[in-house]
Amino acid sequence: MPQNLLEQLRKYTVVVADTGDIEAMEKFRPQDATTNPSLITAAAQMPHYQPIVDGVLKDARKELGEGASDQAVANLAFQRLAIAFGRKILAIVPGRVSTEVDARMSYDTEATIKQAHSIIAQYDAAGIGRERILVKIASTWEGIRAAEVLEKEGIHCNLTLLFGLHQAIAAADAGVTLVSPFVGRILDWYKKDTGKDYHGADDPGVQSVTKVYNYYKKFGYKTLVMGASFRNIGEITELAGSDLLTISPQLLAELEATQGDLPRKLDPQAAQKLDLEKIDVDKAAFDRMHAADRMATDKLKEGIEGFSAALVKLETLLAARLAALESRTPTAV
C-alpha cells in the first residue's frame, strides 16, 4: 500500500507540530512541538482551554496578592501560560517542546538569560527536566549571545526568527542546539518585493534553509536545522531531509492526505562534497551582513514586533478575563 507524504517525510526528518492546539497534537502525534506568542494567544481564546487560562490566572493572583493590579497579574500569568501549555504538550509528545522568551527582550542579553532561567525553573518545579525543553530566542546578536551562555549551562536553545546565513552561522558558532529558519516569511517578502510567485526549488525560503543546512553539514556543526513557517506543502517536500521541520496542523493534514513519492532533497553526505567558503561572523560582520540583507532586516524587525504585539494582546485578554473571574461573571478570553 503506498504511503502518504507525511509517513515518507518521517523517514528523513523529525516532524514537529507548530501549534498551541493540544488536540491537534493528539491527532498527529509529532516527535516535538513548538509554539510562539501568536499561537499561545490563539489557543488561550479557545473555549476548551479556558480552565488552563483560569488556573494560571488564579495562581498568579495568589502569588502576587490582592493588592497587585490586574495588569501585573496578567503579566505574570502570560509568562506562566506558555509553561502550562508546554506541560500539557509534553504529556503528548515524546520529545521536546520549545517555549519562547518574551520577544520584547530580543535585544537584551541579560534579560533573556534571566527569563530563560525562570522558564527552566518552572518546568523543573513541575518535574520536567531541561533535556525536554528548548528555550526559544530571537536570532538577534544579543539573543545569540544569551543562547551561548545558556548552552554552556546545559540549557538548550532554539534560535527563531532566522532569515539570513549570518544569523545561522553566528548561532552555530555559539553552540546552540537548534535554529529555525522561517521559510514562508522569506517567501512572503520576495513575493511582495518582486511581484513574482515562486514554486518548488525556486522558492527563496527553500533556498535559504537549503543553504543553512548545507553549510552546517559541510563544516561539521552539531546545530540542527528546523525549517519553520511554511505556506504550502511544496516548501515542505523540497526540504525533506532537513533535521527537523515544524509544521502547522493544516499542512500536516494535507501531507497525510496526499499520496506520491517523496525523495530526499537534503542530505549530509551530499553537503560535505560542496565547494563552500567558511565565513567568520563576529559582531562587525554580523551587523554588516544584516544591514546588507534587506529581507533579513525587514523580517527580523517585523517578527519581533509581531510577537511583541501578540504578547500585549494576550496580557490585555488575560487582564479582562481576570476581572471577569474576580467579579464572578467569567466570560471567554
Catalytic entry in 27, 88, 136, 222: 136
What proportion of the chain, given as a percentage, has pLDDT over 90?
A: 81
pLDDT in tens, 177-227: 999 999 999 999 999 999 999 999 999 999 999 999 999 999 999 999 999
C-alpha cell at 213: 543546512
Q: What is the pLDDT of residues 150-181, one digit of tens each?
A: 999 999 999 999 999 999 999 999 999 999 99
pLDDT band at 78 (very low <50, low <70, confident <90, very high): confident
Active site annotation includes 136: yes
235 Cβ contact list (under 8 Å, min separation 6): 183, 184, 187, 203, 205, 206, 227
pLDDT in tens, 232-287: 999 999 999 999 999 999 999 999 999 999 999 999 999 999 999 999 999 999 99
pLDDT interval class at 328 (50, 70, 90)? low
Most confident range (mean pLDDT) of 19-23, 39-43, 74-78, 145-149 is 145-149
DSSP single-letter state for residue 19? -
Compute the mean pLDDT over every residue in the chain, rounded to the nearest whole number: 94
pLDDT at 70: 86
Task: Give the model's pLDDT for residue 138.
Answer: 98
State yes or no: pLDDT of 331 exceeds 60. no
Distance CA 62, CA 40 (A): 23
**β-pair type (133-138, 224-227):** unpaired
Q: How many other C-beta atoms lie within 10 A of the C-beta of residue 184?
A: 17
**Model pLDDT, residue 330:** 53
Per residue in 282-301, pLDDT tens?
999 999 999 999 999 999 99
The CA distances from residue 121 to 124, 137, 155, in Å, are 5, 17, 11
Task: Confirm or reject CATH 3.20.20.150 for domain 5-326, answering yes or no.
Answer: no
